Amino acid sequence: MVGHTGTGITVSAGNADGRKQLWHGRFASGPAEELVAFTESLSYDQRLMHSDIACSRAHVAGLGEAGLLDDAEVAAVLAALDQTGREYDAGQLAFEESDEDIHTAIERRVTELAGPAGAKIHTGRSRNDQVATAFRHFVKGELAGVARRIVELLEVLAERADEAGTGASAAYLPGYTHLQRAQPVLLAHHLMAHGWALLRDLERLGDCRRRVDVSPLGAGALAGSSLPLRPDSVAGSAGFSSRFENSLDATSDRDFVAESLFVLTMVGIHLSRMGEEIVLWSSSEFGFVRLDDGYSTGSSMLPQKKNPDIAELARGKAGRLLGDLTGFLATLKSLPLAYNRDLQEDKEPLFDAFDTVGLGLGAMAGLYRTLEFDRARMAEAADDPHAAATDLAELLVMSGMPFREAHAVVGELVRRSIDEGTDFAGLVGADPRLGEAAVALLEPGASARNRLSPGSAGPAAVSQQRARFEEALGSARSIWGIS
């Protein structure tokens, strides 16, 4: 027997008591051991247990409405479904060798519990629409969980941005392009940049959920059924917003898996970029942040070390998320309509992506909540007078000089200060085109406060941005029902 790995679940030793595969009628002999080992999905698709039960309840109620099961049969099957769920939760559901996936196991147990009524549960249903329905149901719940965790991280970023401030004592650091110091920016602005990226992920999750939220139940194996099924009401009672439009598409569509994987991978890539930044910032070379003991690790050999492992794994695990996404896209490519067993490969990558992103978001929220920013070190790096060069050029523009000319004037002063080893502020002060106002821009923090345009890194713009962020976060919260 293959090793089903669910916690607390017992597996019977074999098929000796005459348990049958779902398709046994057509076959003279049972499946080979290698076939079972290679094709089973029970060892991982147990995670769909409660989603399958919820969707099976809706299916059975629909069969009742259609008059295909009478009230007593409906009641018996619903009770058997509930009991199967309880047995599973208590670790008391014994799997059989013939249970190739969780859907088969549930049907088998329901039939044992409810007798002949139980044997009617698969009426008008194939595992092809059943598995797609249960998986969509599960994915909806998981997407909501990821949304909650993103909101938690966004709250941390917003809190840290508020603490960094926009007032006279606001924290600021060099902004970089090409990883070279470019222009000073407020720390609040920098933190919010990550916030906006994650907020877009939250919006993408919401878009994705709309397309996941469609029930394939009633599509049968591929073509629907001759029975008077009620896919609309079944969709509603399974908690879906609508039902499928085309049975071939419904049973074979896994866009919803690929799309969920993309959104999760995008979150993972954003966490990876944030992680890379923390790795840099916590190095002695930058020294912009110190990590909390609870969110960093030591070295087994080097006593002085404090390592940014969460940040590194946020970076490293983006690689596996990319693998989950691209591997599954490769599985989908070239599949003919409709269901093919290849589609069973949809589950493990998406389970992995949910687990990886969920844990990563939680760990990064803790890391950012407890980071200590070294404002003095950041300011020292940002107050490099050359970082104010653009402010000086813009000052000349305000007095009417064409920008290209202003760029050259300031560029030449920078070059002279470097070549001659002279003080930049001295050169600026002595230049009749620049003077007092220009020297004031070289004061500590002056350049960081001198970004004035909307959306920029300066105090007024960042305060306005912060308010807009709160608004956008509020609408995302209400879309996901997060208070």
Helix (H, G, I), strand (E, B) or coil at 20: coil
* Cα angle, residue 234 at apex, residues 233 and 239 outer, rounded to 5°: 95
The least distance separating ligand ARG from the CB of residue 11, rounded to whole angstroms, comes to: 17
Helices marked H in 282-398: 309-332, 347-370, 375-382, 389-398
The least distance separating ligand ARG from the CB of residue 167, rounded to whole angstroms, comes to: 57
* Site residues (vs ligand ARG, CB under 6 A): 41, 101, 127-128, 131, 339, 341, 343-344
| 463 vs 111: CA distance, rounded Å | 63
Complex with ligand ARG: residue 48 or 363, whichever CB lies closer: 48
Complex with ligand ARG: residue 178 or 341, whichever CB lies closer: 341
Catalytic residue among 169, 178, 284, 334: 178
| 142 vs 140: CA distance, rounded Å | 6
| 242 has catalytic annotation | no
Name the token pair of 74: 């409906």
**Cis-peptide, bond into residue 94, ω within 30° of zero:** no
Nearest one of 283, 265, 261, 280 to 349, comparing CA atoms? 261
Contact 278, 308 (CB under 8 A): yes
The least distance separating ligand ARG from the CB of residue 36, rounded to whole angstroms, comes to: 12
The least distance separating ligand ARG from the CB of residue 238, rounded to whole angstroms, comes to: 18
Catalytic residue among 299, 399, 475, 478: 299
| 59 has catalytic annotation | no
Nearest one of 398, 264, 404, 372 to 323, comparing CA atoms? 264
Q: Output Rg (C-alpha) for the chain, integer angstroms.
A: 30
| 352 vs 320: CA distance, rounded Å | 9
Contact 106, 81 (CB under 8 A): yes
The least distance separating ligand ARG from the CB of residue 254, rounded to whole angstroms, comes to: 10
Complex with ligand ARG: residue 221 or 279, whichever CB lies closer: 221
The least distance separating ligand ARG from the CB of residue 350, rounded to whole angstroms, comes to: 12
Nearest one of 140, 325, 127 to 220, comparing CA atoms? 127
Complex with ligand ARG: residue 110 or 205, whichever CB lies closer: 110
Complex with ligand ARG: residue 296 or 344, whichever CB lies closer: 344
The least distance separating ligand ARG from the CB of residue 252, rounded to whole angstroms, comes to: 11
Q: How many CB atoms lie within 10 A of CB 333?
A: 7
Complex with ligand ARG: residue 339 or 424, whichever CB lies closer: 339
Complex with ligand ARG: residue 223 or 408, whichever CB lies closer: 223
CA dihedral 160, 163, 166, 167 (to 10 degrees): -170
Residues known to be catalytic: 178, 299
